[in-house]
Amino acid sequence: MPKVFSLDGVVPVVDPTAFVHPGAVLIGDVIIGPDCYVGPGASIRADVGQIVMARGSNFQDNCSAHCFAGGRTEIQEYASIGHGAVLHGCTVGARAIIGMNAVVMDGAVIGDDCIVAALAFVRANFQAPARTIVAGLPAKVLRDITEAEIEWKKSAYTDYLNTIPRCRATLQEVEALTGIDDMSPRITIEGAKTLSDFRKKP
């Protein structure tokens, strides 16, 4: 079970169909909706405001979510928050992707189907229009996304939806092996390609 803490009598809410890794931490006014995935090392700390994950969204390894007093952080349906990203008092639109180690600040709104590049810094109150790519320090809108990129994003969040039943069925804490003779990959599964590889396809 994840580390779940009530604060001022407010207990986090996790839908029974969601998967929250045992290494994640939830504090206070957290609401995690159906079919969500929360990865190891994630910190969702709603001690002074509310943090909501809508259906099918994912919050990957070592991500953090928080806000200022009275604020709210919202992750809308099927949005993906990449490894190590930080969300602070912002809104992430439906099916948007926040890249690895990106930071999205208070009052920022990432529109539906946006892609925020890895390592981007999205300043407070920034408005990213729907279906755009945002990148840089500070982040700027680079261009509209293509229909092909929309299709790629679907495969990205579908991977996390497919991971939930696998984790429920087979994830368990064990002792590590001390050696192995065959170094070939031991988990082979069909899934999303990287965006750069996807763009290269014929």
DSSP strand pairing (139-144 vs 132-136): antiparallel
The candidate with the shortest Cα–Cα distance to 60, out of 85, 27, 31, 32, is 85
Integer Cα distance of 194 and 84 in angstroms: 17
DSSP 99-139: PTT-EE-TT-EEPTT-EEPTT-EE-TT-EE-TTEEEEETTE
Query: Across residues 1-28, what is the average pLDDT?
Result: 96
User: Considering the chain, what percentage of its residues have pLDDT values greater than 90?
Assistant: 82
Residue 35 and residue 37: Cα distance in Å, rounded?
A: 7
* pLDDT for position 88: 98
Lowest mean pLDDT among 48-57, 165-174, 181-190: 181-190
CB 33, CB 161: distance < 8 Å: no
Distance CA 73, CA 31 (A): 11
Tell whether the model's pLDDT for residue 11 goes beyond 90.
yes
CB 154 within 8 Å of CB 6: no
pLDDT in tens, 60-89: 999 999 999 999 999 999 999 999 999 999
Half-sphere exposure of 107 (CA within 13 A, CB side): 5
Number of H helices and E strands in the chain, helices first, is 2, 20
* Burial annotation 81-105 (CB, 10 A radius, 16+ → b, else e): bbebbbbbbbbbbbbbbbbbbbbbb
Q: CB atoms < 10 A from the CB of 160, how many?
A: 23
Which residues touch 143 (CB under 8 Å, ≥6 apart)? 132, 133
Rg of the chain over all Cα atoms, to the nearest angstrom: 17
16-35 in b/e form (b: 16+ CB < 10 A) is eebbbbeebbbbbbbbbbeb
pLDDT at 202: 57
Q: pLDDT tens, 105-130?
A: 999 999 999 999 999 999 999 999 99
